[in-house]
Structure 1
Amino acid sequence: MHDSTGGQALWNAVADFQFAAWRRVVAVLLTAVPSIALAQLPPPESGGPPSPVPPSVPVPAPGQTTGLARWLNPSTAPFIPVPEVATDPNSGTTLGVLPTWLRTDENHHIDRIIAPDILHNPYFGYGMHVRLYEYPSEDQQWSVVAQIKEHVERGFDGEYQIGRARRDRWSFTGGLIYDRDGTPRFFGTGNKTPESSQTNYTAAQQVARAQIGLNISRIWQLAYTVRARSVDVLPGTLPGIESIEQRFPHITGLGTDRELLQRLSITYDTRDDLTIPSHGTQWVAYGGLASRGGLLNDSLYSEAGVDGRGFWPLRQDTILAVHLALRYLLHTNDAPFWALSSIGGGRSDIGAEQPLRGFGAGRFTDRDSFSMTVELRHKLLSFDALSTHVDIEVTPFVDAGRVFGRSGTVPFTQLHPVGGIGFRGIARPFVVGYVDVGYGSEGSAVFTGIGYPF
């Protein structure tokens, strides 16, 4: 489960609260299209370590705000009462409220976020999340998110990373996920599937994954990834959308299926920062085998691909960012439809789905895929928001991609183009919130979330 409703909405909502309340110039941006920055509580007192718990309510002093005014001032409120707004073409608009505690270290960097919420989604009713994000250092991060809604959806996501900076010999990333998601769509396979073939299904999955990286140097890494996944494809529940088994009764992957993926990858990475890069490149070449059980066999499929991204400063405040991804399934002996290559949505996942921000996630699916993105990340303004520094970026972008079923197909032809503009709020060193608005052949789509799309 990637907390696509609450986790992504957190940063968007925090930003909306900050902008609307305290920053006139950002309010102007919000009038045109939502944008994201970061609001946070004051840092702990200097001269000592960060407070082990979220900041407590300060004792009012003479002349200090009290009553309702104290709750509306983030310098004195016990928490930030954040309005929650999340939008996605597949899941609709989710509204709610998050009481959010943010803690900073002596360098005014966020090192803890506690953010439960109460929300409402038009498809799944009322629900809640419990979230804890920890950023002990540049080299280590972990998070725990749990959620439940009235209908269909519930989940748990625990993630841990250490060795992110590759200063030591080994790096490790691990995660445990349980996710019941009622929003996925399937349109059939092929690069020209019509919008009218849209179906919905409920995906219930359990995932355990780990990646161990051998850091040959700060630039080169050899990594082994193993992922055990059980996926149960159930009938869809969204009103007005046909359920998958009605239109595609014979598609491979209905019901319960299991996958054990083992992947080797080699990474070349010269980026100056993992979260907010300003220059450098990253190239990842990978190959893997997936089976229903047992080691080192491709009873489901075998894969190979390359993923590259580059960042070039054009001016002090402008960066050209480019992303390319190409994935081939070399053998698809009995691969379920959810394991095929797909494009659509707002994020890039190495060896999996790739962005096409004029369409919802998984809009086009087939054996192989190609994706390309160009962004011009321009810093529009900067300001100090309480105890941290915030940059606002405006980012025109172009996405293009396609899927194909024959390996001999030229991947650069018959592309689906998307143009759009993004707004990002950046609080270094770990936080990027975004709103991206894209337009493609089927209309516009809006995505909110945390982190750059690639």
Structure 2
Amino acid sequence: MLARLLVTCMLLVALLTGCTSYLPPGSVPISPLSEQNVKVVTIPLPAISANPNEGITYGALAAFLLHNDKDEVCTLLAPQVNYNDLYGTTGTVYGAYYPSRDRSYEWNISQSAKINFDYELRLRDQTLMDKKLELNAFLYTFADGSARFYGFQDSKKQMETNYADQETGFTVTAGYPLPFDHTQVVFGERLRIVDIDPGAVTSVPYILPRFANVPGVHGFVAHAQSLGVVYNTLDSNTMPTTGIRLKVSIDNNAQALGGSADYRHYDTEVKGYLPLMDARFISVARFEYSQTLGEDVPFLERSSLGGENTLRGYGRNRFIDSSFLLLNLEERIRLFRWELFGVTADWEMAPFIDLGSVMTSLVEANSRAFQFNPGLGLRAVIRPNIVGRIDVGVGKEGPAVFVGLGYPF
């Protein structure tokens, strides 16, 4: 009860201390903001999260929302400071720039006192070649000292181990339309360099003594090319309210091109959005099947479930094997539309069910191994670009709370 009261008080203080200000032309050195008075809405917020891998994190952030001449939020800057018992104090600056609906840039700079760091740059551009070419690029380096591995298949809690997952790499994809309505072919290239080091959780055994013979536990390199076909009728790629999206893809990793082993990923995903009552209610469903084939496949390159975007009742990569089946059902309910400091936000509640299982192959699927995660999400949606969310999922090992940006799918 005391914790709930404290959080409520912090939210009220945040809402009361927010403000709107204006910067003169030339203060923001990016077009078109450099040529106009820029409205800046500043909202301080508490940042509290808890998940099975990291435990509880406490902190605060200030969200600076910069508006263009159409009074749309086109730039977000969010410095944050938080504390976690595993990593100590962490400083983070997240930024996003949306010059148009067809182009966006995102970056994240985060450094902890112990082990953890995260540096990311993401680009999306749909303006190339008369808007025929869709380009996505993601460059990253990070370290996560709370990573877990439990073994393969229906892994048991008592087999839990910890390690620090340190990765550097990039992913680039390019989509081009095919001569069929709403259909494009997608080519991709990715590089992933992984080091496995001692983690931050001293109460859990280190991965190497228990799983020393598992491929990838001494580090690995993945260098893969992908080919996919996408059928997409969504009304928006970032905040869809209606339509379907179907993707079928193959991803091939080869030793000849620098990878640690030869293997392939096959993936099929379909997502559907059905609006009701003028989009006051949006029924959302996602089904995904993934299969990994090959010898000596690194454990982090296999099919995995768990975390904020798949099974939300468990930590990231809780279940790993050569294949998975996943079903997510979610009802996004707009509770009310509220204008605060000149920013119009839709406040949503989203009850959800996540159902999924890993397996060696599809023919070996066992209904008793499926994980059933009911939960509830709370979302603040600032159209056309920004979604803040809190998802609380409940699995067999207890509840998990995830806080972040963007819809889970």
**Paired position in structure 2 for 1:196:** 158
* TM-score for the superposition, normalised by structure 2: 0.88
Q: Contact conserved, 2:306 with 2:318, CA < 8 A, in 1? A: yes
Matched residue, 1:304 = 266
Which of 299, 324, 342 is the equivalent residue of 2:304? 342
**5 Å matches for 1:131-142?**
131-142=94-105
CA displacement at 1:221 relative to structure 2: 1.4
Q: Distance in 2 between matches of 1:16 and 1:85?
A: 13
Contact 1:258–1:292 (CA under 8 A) maintained in structure 2:
no
SS of residue paired to 1:245 = helix
Please give the alpha-carbon distance, in whole angstroms, between the structure 2 residues aligned to 1:144 and 1:136.
15
| Paired position in structure 2 for 1:431 | 386
State the distance in 1 between where 2:343 and 2:61 align. 21
Cα distance in structure 1, aligned partners of 2:260 and 2:165 = 23
Q: 1:166 to 1:240 in 2, by over 3 A?
A: farther
In structure 1, what is the equivalent of residue 3 of structure 2? Answer: none
Structure 2 Cα separation of the partners of residues 118 and 433 of structure 1:
17
Kindly provide the CA deviation profile for residues 221-263 of structure 1, in whole angstroms up to 9, marking residues without a partner as x.
Answer: 1111100111011122312111111221211112221111111
1:213 maps to which of 160, 175, 179: 175
Q: Distance in 1 between matches of 2:9 and 2:251?
A: 42
Q: Is the 8 A contact 2:222 2:260 kept in 1?
A: no
Aligned to 1:445: 400
Within the candidate set 318, 332, 337, 2:294 is matched to 332
1:397 maps to: 352
Q: How far apart, CA to CA, are the structure 2 residues paired with 1:357 and 1:141? A: 27
Q: For residues 181 and 131 of structure 2, what CA distance do their matches in structure 1 show?
A: 9
Selected match of 2:343 from 381, 388, 393: 388
Q: 2:24 touches 2:36 (CA, 8 Å); kept in 1?
A: no
SS of the aligned residue for 1:116 comes to strand
- When residues 412 and 279 of structure 1 are mapped into structure 2, their CA distance, relative to the original with a 3 A threshold, is farther
Match of 1:227 in 2: 190
Which whole-Å CA distance do the structure 1 matches of 2:10 and 2:24 have between them? 25
Per the TM alignment, residue 40 of structure 1 is displaced from its structure 2 partner at its CA by 7.7
Match of 2:108 in 1: 145
Give 1:183-332 correspondences, 5 Å limit.
183-190=146-153, 192-216=154-178, 219-294=182-257, 299-316=261-278, 317-329=280-292, 331-332=293-294
CA apart distance, 1:195: 1.1
TM-superposed CA distance for 1:326, in Å, is: 0.1
- What is the CA deviation profile of residues 258-292 of structure 1, one whole-angstrom value per residue up to 9, with x for unaligned ones? 11111101001101111221110000000121124
Alpha-carbon distance change, 159 to 53 in structure 1, aligned in 2, over 3 angstroms: farther
Give the AA of the match of 1:424: R
Alignment of 1:63-74 (within 5 A): none
Q: How many residues align?
A: 394
Contact kept, 8 Å, 2:95 with 2:107, in 1: the verdict is yes
TM-score of the two chains, using structure 1 as the length reference: 0.80
Moved more, 266-275 or 128-137: 128-137
Question: 306, 310, 316: which one pairs with 1:361?
Answer: 316
Q: What is the identity, as a one-letter code, of the residue corresponding to 1:234?
A: D
Against the structure 1 CA distance between its residues 173 and 139, is the aligned structure 2 distance closer, same or farther, given a 3 Å change threshold? same
Q: Sort the Cα spacing of 1:221 and 1:166 in 2 relative to 1 into closer, same or farther, 3 A.
A: farther
Q: Does structure 1 residue 52 correspond to structure 2 residue 42?
A: no
1:178 paired residue number:
141
> C-alpha deviations, 1:146-195, integer Å up to 9, x for none?
221111112311111101799612111112111111111111001x2111
Contact 1:323 1:374 in 2 (8 A): yes
| Contact 1:306 1:325 (C-alpha < 8 Å) held by counterparts | yes
The 8 Å contact of residues 208 and 228 in structure 1, kept in 2 or not, is answered as yes
Q: Could you say which structure has the greater relative contact order, defined with CA pairs below 8 angstroms and 6 or more residues apart? A: 1
**Residue in 1 that maps onto 2:57:** 94
Give me the CA root mean square deviation. Answer: 2.9
Q: Given the superposition, is the C-alpha separation of residues 128 and 53 from structure 1 closer, same or farther in structure 2, using an over 3 Å criterion?
A: farther
Q: Is the 8 A contact 1:54 1:102 kept in 2?
A: no
**In structure 2, C-alpha distance between the alignment counterparts of 1:280 and 1:53, rounded to whole Å:** 38
Q: Which moved more, 1:120-129 or 1:410-419?
A: 410-419
The letter of the residue matching 1:197 is: M
Contact 1:326 1:369 in 2 (8 A): yes
The AA in structure 1 aligned to 2:146 is T
Give the whole-Å Cα distance in 2 for the aligned partners of 1:220 and 1:167: 16
- The change in CA–CA distance for 1:41 and 1:271 in structure 2 (over 3 A counts) is farther
Alpha-carbon deviations, 1:294-346, whole Å to 9, x = none?
28x994311212011001123331111000000011x2212110101111111
Q: Secondary structure at the match of 1:242?
A: coil
Shift of 1:391: 1.0
Mark the CA change 1:393 to 1:166 in structure 2 (over 3 Å): closer, same or farther: farther
Deviation per CA, 1:86-130, whole angstroms, max 9, x where unpaired? 333212222233344220112322111222333222101112123
Shift of 1:20: 5.0
